[in-house]
């Protein structure tokens, strides 16, 4: 629950903005109507204070016109679009640190229905098109306040050849189990070895709660499940001390819970950081134990000259082999979408 909720005048003009206003007010939270469309009061005297204020602020705004111009998002999906920006959790490696600028307030988009209605422009003719909705937020983390994910899943359930993908570290899946998704939404859960999750993923659901949620999502409807296609995103993979033992324990738990045929994919993402994301993360989490030592990493440069630090070739090879072998052995029917 945020400490402060604000709505802009433009957002309040949107029917979904009204709905958000009422839904959040009904949960006992006061929603402040702003005088103009600028969100102020997010800065404290230090970066850490700004972080605290912003993370506790939920702003209902209209997404800017650029949000209607979708960008590709390989290798995860064809296109990305956004229900919101920001997330109330506190992962010390959070990938938003490198992609969103300014204080990390949570912005929920009141013009979501218009964004959804515009997606058809990006659909490919007679071919499936995939849309990723969790590049800038964890959509399930806000669902109790917004209901936006339910709207989005239903929307894709009615599209003929469009598919939604999103990922979460939360487990409040119950309200989404019985909605008509028509198999068009792949519900992915992000998981990690227990010591990584415990040490670095503040404010998220525990790993075992996420795995239980995953089972429920995949179970057939007649067994009380959601009958969703599911996905496991293992991220960020880190060679912590005794990593084989810890990740093996995670796979064991997964195998026990997914002991029935289901439509399952894996995405494998090793830890990486950029000079910019490292600076932001160290401001947000000055006492973090997250390893971000450039000296032990390899450098990758993109076509715009941006640098990121990844594990060395040898470490990558060891990790990749281990994860692929585990998956092939334990989940022979699942597909591995990519390793990065
Ligand atoms: Fe960032 Fe995802 Fe953690 Fe939220 S759940 S803080 S978006 S890494």
Q: Tell me the CA–centroid distance for residue 123 and ligand 1, in Å.
A: 28
What is the phi/psi pair of residue 302, to 5°? -90, 180
For the CA atoms of the chain, what is the radius of gyration?
A: 20
Residue (of 307, 292, 281, 227) closest to 97 by Cα position: 281
Q: Tell me the CA–centroid distance for residue 205 and ligand 1, in Å.
A: 11
Tokens 């894709």, residue located = 156
Atom of ligand 1 nearest to the CA of 97: 1
Q: Tell me the CA–centroid distance for residue 91 and ligand 1, in Å.
A: 5
- Per-residue model confidence (pLDDT) at position 303: 83
pLDDT tens digit sequence for 248-297: 999 999 999 999 999 999 999 999 999 999 999 999 999 999 999 999 99
Q: Which residues of the chain have pLDDT under 50?
A: none
Instruction: Report the C-alpha gap between 160 and 127 in whole angstroms.
Output: 10
Residues in the chain: 340
Instruction: Report the C-alpha gap between 79 and 99 in whole angstroms.
Output: 16
Residue (of 131, 207, 129, 125) closest to 164 by Cα position: 131
- Per-residue model confidence (pLDDT) at position 304: 84
Instruction: Report the C-alpha gap between 64 and 54 in whole angstroms.
Output: 20
Phi-psi region for residue 279, left (φ > 0), alpha (ψ -120 to 50) or beta?
Answer: alpha
Query: DSSP letter at 35?
Result: S
Domains of the chain and any CATH numbers: 1-168 (3.40.50.12110), 180-271+311-340 (3.80.30.30)
Instruction: Report the C-alpha gap between 273 and 93 in whole angstroms.
Output: 8
Atom of ligand 1 nearest to the CA of 87: 4
Tokens encoding 186: 């792949």
Q: Tell me the CA–centroid distance for residue 94 and ligand 1, in Å.
A: 5
- Per-residue model confidence (pLDDT) at position 260: 96
Tokens encoding 136: 């800038």
Q: Tell me the CA–centroid distance for residue 60 and ligand 1, in Å.
A: 19
- Per-residue model confidence (pLDDT) at position 105: 97
Q: Tell me the CA–centroid distance for residue 222 and ligand 1, in Å.
A: 33
Return the best residue to mutate from 86, 87, 281 for the ligand 1 pocket (most ligand atoms within 8 A of CB).
Answer: 87
Return the best residue to mutate from 204, 210, 267, 273 for the ligand 1 pocket (most ligand atoms within 8 A of CB).
Answer: 204
- Per-residue model confidence (pLDDT) at position 23: 98
| Global pTM value | 0.96
User: What is the DSSP annotation of 133-173?
Assistant: --SSB-HHHHHHHH-HHHHHHHHHHH-SSEEEEEEES----
Query: Which value does ipTM take for this structure?
Result: 0.99
Q: Tell me the CA–centroid distance for residue 199 and ligand 1, in Å.
A: 14
Nearest-CA residue for atom 1 of ligand 1: 94
Q: Tell me the CA–centroid distance for residue 201 and ligand 1, in Å.
A: 8
Atom of ligand 1 nearest to the CA of 86: 7
How many other C-beta atoms can be found within 10 angstroms of the C-beta atom of residue 303? 5
Q: Tell me the CA–centroid distance for residue 223 and ligand 1, in Å.
A: 31
Return the best residue to mutate from 82, 107, 138 for the ligand 1 pocket (most ligand atoms within 8 A of CB).
Answer: 138
Nearest-CA residue for atom 3 of ligand 1: 91
Instruction: Report the C-alpha gap between 113 and 47 in whole angstroms.
Output: 34
Instruction: Report the C-alpha gap between 114 and 95 in whole angstroms.
Output: 27
- Give ligand 1 pocket residues (Cβ under 6 A): 87, 89-91, 94-96, 138, 169, 204
Residue (of 9, 6, 11) closest to 40 by Cα position: 6
């Amino acid at each position: 629950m945020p400490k402060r909720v604000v709505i802009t005048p433009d957002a309040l003009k949107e029917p979904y903005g009204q709905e958000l206003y009422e839904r959040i007010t009904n949960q006992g939270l006061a929603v402040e109507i702003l005088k103009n469309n600028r969100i102020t009061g997010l800065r404290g005297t230090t970066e850490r204070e700004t972080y605290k204020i912003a993370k506790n602020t939920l702003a209902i705004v209209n997404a800017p016109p650029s949000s209607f111009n979708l960008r590709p998002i390989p290798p995860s999906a064809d296109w990305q679009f956004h229900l919101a920006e920001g997330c109330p959790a506190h992962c010390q490696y959070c990938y938003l640190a490198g992609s969103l600028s300014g204080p990390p307030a949570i912005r929920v988009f009141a013009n979501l229905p218009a964004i959804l209605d515009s997606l058809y422009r990006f659909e490919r003719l007679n071919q499936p098109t995939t849309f990723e909705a969790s590049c800038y937020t964890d959509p399930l983390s806000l669902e109790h306040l917004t209901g936006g994910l339910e709207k989005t899943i239903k929307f894709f359930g009615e599209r003929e050849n469009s598919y939604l993908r999103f990922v979460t570290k939360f487990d409040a899946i119950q309200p989404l189990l019985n909605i008509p998704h028509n198999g068009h939404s792949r519900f992915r859960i992000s998981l990690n070895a227990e010591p990584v999750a415990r040490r670095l993923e503040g404010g998220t659901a525990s790993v075992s709660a996420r795995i239980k949620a995953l089972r429920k999502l995949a179970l057939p409807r007649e067994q009380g499940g959601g009958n969703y296609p599911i996905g496991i995103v293992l991220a960020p993979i880190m060679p912590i001390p005794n990593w084989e033992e810890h990740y093996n324990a995670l796979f064991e738990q997964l195998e026990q819970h997914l002991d029935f045929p289901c439509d399952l994919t894996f995405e494998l993402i090793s830890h990486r950081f950029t000079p910019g994301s490292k600076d932001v993360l160290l401001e947000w989490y000055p006492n973090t134990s997250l390893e971000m030592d450039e000296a032990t990493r390899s450098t990758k440069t993109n076509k715009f000259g941006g640098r990121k630090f990844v594990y060395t070739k040898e470490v990558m090879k060891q990790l990749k082999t281990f994860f692929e072998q585990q998956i092939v052995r334990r989940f022979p029917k699942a597909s591995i979408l990519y390793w990065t």
